[in-house]
Every structure is written in C-alpha cells, then in structure tokens.
Amino acid sequence: MDWGLKNRISRIIKPATGRTVMLAVDHGYFLGPTTGLEIPKETIEPLLPYADSLMLTRGVLRTSVDPEKSPPIVLRVSGGTSILSELSNEGRTVSIKDAVRLNVSAVAISVFVGAQYERQTLLGLAELIDEAEEYGIGVLAVTAVGKDMVRDARYLGLCCRIAAELGAHIVKTYYCEDFDKVVASCPVPIVVAGGKKISERDALKLAYDSIQNGAVGVDMGRNIFQSESPVSMIKAVRAIVHKNADVDSAFELFNSLKSRGSKKE
C-alpha cells in the first residue's frame, strides 16, 4: 500500500486501537429526508467530535459540515436511484477530481450482488478503485442487500469476498450469525452497518457482537442519530469499539450520559 493511501486509511481505522466508529449520514442519497436527518447540520454537528470519520454525500458535506472542524471524510460517490426505483441500478455520482478537491480519505460505493444490476455495480467498484488508487484515496465497498436477499453468512461472505477480490480497501456489510466466517474469508477490514433503528441496548449488542467476531468497527447511522440521545449513544458505541466495553457497561454509560445531558445530547 502506498504512503498516501496508508495515511488516509489510518485516518479512518485508528492505529491506536485498529478500530473505527464511522458515522453514516448518507441515507438521503436514495431515501430523501430520512427521520433525524431532515436538517443534516443540526444532527451532525454535536456528533462530530466523537466520529472517527463521517460517511456522507458531496451535497451534505458542502452545506452542512464546517471544513475547519471536519473529521476524516468517506464520501459516497454512488447513487442515481431512489426508493421509488430499482435500487441496484446505481452509477457514479462524483468524479475523483472532486473527491480530491474535497480532501476525502476514502470514497464509498455500493455493490448489489445477486441483484438486477450486479455486473454494473461490480465493474463500477473496480473502475472506482483504479481511479482512486491513482491519488492514494481509499475505497469502501458497501454490500447493499436487495429486498429478496437473505442476510446470512453465505451470502454476505460472497459479497464481501467479491468486493475484496476487486480491490476494495474496506468493506461494509451487515452483521449475521456466524459473522466470524464472513470476516475470516474477507482479506480486508470489515465495518458493520447499524441497519434500521432498534433499541439502544440491542444496537450496542450489535456493535459488541460485530467487534467480538472480528469487525474493525461500525459504520452506524440511524441507531445513533435516531437515538433519543445521539451523543450518549455514539459515546457508548465508542466504549465498545475502542475500549472493549461489554454491552451492560456500555448501556449503563449510555443511560448515565443521557440522564445528565439534554435531549439532543
């Protein structure tokens, strides 16, 4: 790995622990004004000090994040579809030139294995890697799951391995039973998506199980920004990811921070 690429990846996966808490706020690119992200700046700002990196689109980055206070950026560069259309029909939405101008640490693109436009998205990943590597920019492959796909270790293992074989530097996927097998057969680091909002304790358990089974971290969105206390939640997730806290102590931390802070915190 060349110096620039290694340096950028180390901004995301912190060398001190080898782990990362990525904050995902890119949902609007196909979901529109997602609950909790109606006014992105208001949601994002209080969470910034606790996010190892921020995953978002160019539009939200430019309008809602102060360039002088920004954590490392993982820029979503795929899209072109909405929840009203065939989601797997994604294409590229941002040039590498603009990603360089925005000084991002990595770019993120979805692949839809087993879906209608599988080939297009996989070749899109390969092409993006070729372009990004010219500038030492990392590529995060997001293993997007269609409605009919079973999220089991066999399927997610297939998605992660294909993304890694094509050259992705980090892969983002979902947690599942036998997750250690998914991790073992993927030669690059894996981060786990949070998925739909669940209870805070369950989301902390998801983070804990992911780490215990070999993920290097989480790329969590709704279970942080839709929490009744987003700052308390991201701090509790950090305790699990970076300090090896167990679920009970992280949940206790969440509750004590929540009771001390304001609702938004």
Q: Report the catalytic residues.
A: 172
Residue 219 binds ligand R5P, judged by CB under 6 A: yes
- Rank residues 141 and 193 by Cβ distance to ligand R5P and give the closer one: 193
12, 24, 99, 186: residue in contact with ligand R5P (rule CB under 6 A)? 24
- Rank residues 26 and 52 by Cβ distance to ligand R5P and give the closer one: 26
Alpha carbons 75 and 105: distance in angstroms, whole number: 8
Place of tokens 């199980």: 209
- Rank residues 24 and 73 by Cβ distance to ligand R5P and give the closer one: 24
5, 13, 44, 55: residue in contact with ligand R5P (rule CB under 6 A)? 55
Q: 45: which 2 tokens?
A: 């700002």
What x-and-dash track marks residues 114-153 binding ligand R5P by CB under 6 A?
----------------------------x-x---------
CB of 220 to ligand R5P, least distance (A): 4
Alpha carbons 46 and 39: distance in angstroms, whole number: 13
Contact (CB, 8 A) for 137 and 167: no
Map the footprint of ligand R5P across residues 176-195, applying CB under 6 A: 193-195
CB of 64 to ligand R5P, least distance (A): 15
CB of 26 to ligand R5P, least distance (A): 5
CB of 228 to ligand R5P, least distance (A): 16
CB of 29 to ligand R5P, least distance (A): 8
Only one of the segments 19-27, 91-99, 153-161, 257-265 lies at the binding site for ligand R5P (rule: CB under 6 A); that segment is 19-27
What x-and-dash track marks residues 62-81 binding ligand R5P by CB under 6 A?
--------------------
What does the H/E/C string look like for the chain?
CCHHHHHHHHHHCECCCCEEEEEECCCHHHHCCCCCCCCHHHHHHHHHHHCCEEEECHHHHHHHCCCCCCCCEEEECEECCCCCCCCCCCEECCCHHHHHHCCCCEEEEEECCCCCCHHHHHHHHHHHHHHHHHCCCEEEEEECCCCCCCCCHHHHHHHHHHHHHHCCCEEEECCCCCHHHHHHCCCCCEEEECCCCCCHHHHHHHHHHHHHCCCCEEEECHHHHCCCCHHHHHHHHHHHHHHCCCHHHHHHHHHHHHHHCCCCC
Residue 221 binds ligand R5P, judged by CB under 6 A: yes
- Rank residues 1 and 31 by Cβ distance to ligand R5P and give the closer one: 31
Query: Which spans of this chain sit near ligand R5P (rule: CB under 6 A)?
Result: 24, 26-27, 55, 110, 142, 144, 193-195, 219-223
